[in-house]
Amino acid sequence: LSDICRRENFSCVAAAAAAAALDYCSNMQHEPAGRSSVSLLCGRRASPKAFDDSQNFAEALPMEMSVRIFGELDAESLCSASRTCRLWRDIIEQSEQLWRRQCLLVRAVCQREVDKDRGDGFSWKVTLVRNYTRSCAKRDWLRGRYSSVSSADELLGRNMVPFDAETWGEILQAELNR
């Protein structure tokens, strides 16, 4: 982070604010679902704890620096950060750069689905929302998390999504290779 601040010619105060923001985001609490497209991905609302505006780095830093800071977060942490305050939500929801980065991680598991959605003209954010749960479920299947399931009851409470025949073929091949 300090390297980014030096390259971008930001002050030590800005670097400290950025570090505090990253720490704050990584320690946030989660609660039940909201309605924005980000909350559709995350399925949680912000903690009722108020965030002290005097500590809000996004008000003090240029937008590009805030986006770089948020770019250090994973998808779940981005969702938490977007529920912190309106400014953070606006920065996160409007930054295609942040959504693209997260979407490319999902694409590593669900390439066909992500490429199809992008080809159909969906934004990076919408593509991520549409494919995030699918990628998590597919990753679990490919890693063998469900290799020894003996009944459907063992899958209750798990996020399951419909897969196409090609995806089931990949999963079967992974099972055969174990």
What are the boundaries of each domain within the chain?
2-94, 110-177
What is the pLDDT confidence band of residue 1, given thresholds at 50, 70 and 90? very low
Q: Is residue 111 within 8 Å of 138, Cβ to Cβ?
A: no
Residue 11, pLDDT score: 45
Q: Is residue 81 within 8 Å of 29, Cβ to Cβ?
A: no
What is the pLDDT confidence band of residue 60, given thresholds at 50, 70 and 90? confident
pLDDT digits (tens, 9 = 90+) for 27-50: 544 444 444 555 445 544 444 444
- Is a pLDDT exceeding 90 seen at residue 136? yes
Q: Is residue 132 within 8 Å of 124, Cβ to Cβ?
A: no
101 vs 42, higher pLDDT: 101
Residue 128, pLDDT score: 94
| 43: Cα separation from own chain's centroid | 12
- Is a pLDDT exceeding 90 seen at residue 14? no
Q: What is the rounded average pLDDT of the residues 77-82?
A: 90
Q: Are strands 45-46 and 30-31 parallel, antiparallel or unpaired?
A: antiparallel
Torsion angles phi and psi, residue 115, rounded to 5: -60, -40
pLDDT digits (tens, 9 = 90+) for 147-173: 998 998 988 888 889 999 999 999 999
- Average pLDDT, whole number, for the chain? 79
Q: Is residue 49 within 8 Å of 10, Cβ to Cβ?
A: no
